[in-house]
Amino acid sequence: MLVAAPAGAVDDVDDPFGFDGVGLEFDETFGDEDIATTIASIIKVALTLMGIVVVTLFIYAGFLWMTAAGNDDKIAQAKKIMVAVVVGAAIIFSAWAITKFVIGGLSDATGAGVDIE
């Protein structure tokens, strides 16, 4: 009985900080969306993860360059990583633009109303 009293008190507490479940909403109708919406959601997540990887690698290359202490091999490696990251970012941006164009065209043609932001 003593253990249950604090647990019951938690139910009566309003959300004083405005988190309300930390903004997470779980949709119970997963799988009821059309294929275009599902693909658009997957592409959004993939492009977001790729963007995080690009930023992380660029920061790593900058750190490598700053800690090279004049070592030409490390500076060359950092430059090589930075060039590869910029090329990769250009490819990712192009993929996003093409995806937005194609999904937008399909969405307009089918009336699905899907948008990749």
Residue 55 in any domain: the answer is: yes
Compare 50 and 6 and report the one with higher pLDDT.
50
The predicted-structure confidence for 30-45, as pLDDT tens digits, reads as follows 566 777 677 778 888 8
Residue 53 in any domain: the answer is: yes
Residue 26 in any domain: the answer is: no
Residue 46 in any domain: the answer is: yes
* Torsion, CA 48, CA 53, CA 51, CA 103, rounded to 10: -50
The predicted pLDDT at position 87 comes to 96
**What's the pTM?**
0.59
Q: How many domains does the chain have?
A: 1
Compare 1 and 108 and report the one with higher pLDDT.
108
Q: How far is CA 8 from the centre of its chain?
A: 37
The predicted-structure confidence for 79-108, as pLDDT tens digits, reads as follows 999 999 999 999 988 988 887 888 777 777
- Give the residue from 58, 63, 65 showing the smallest Cα distance to 86: 58
The predicted pLDDT at position 95 comes to 84
Whether 61 and 78 have beta carbons less than 8 Å apart is answered as: yes
Q: Which domain holds residue 37?
A: 33-110
Residue 12 in any domain: the answer is: no
Tokens of residue 79, six digits: 């430059």
Whether 99 and 116 have beta carbons less than 8 Å apart is answered as: yes
Residue 50 in any domain: the answer is: yes
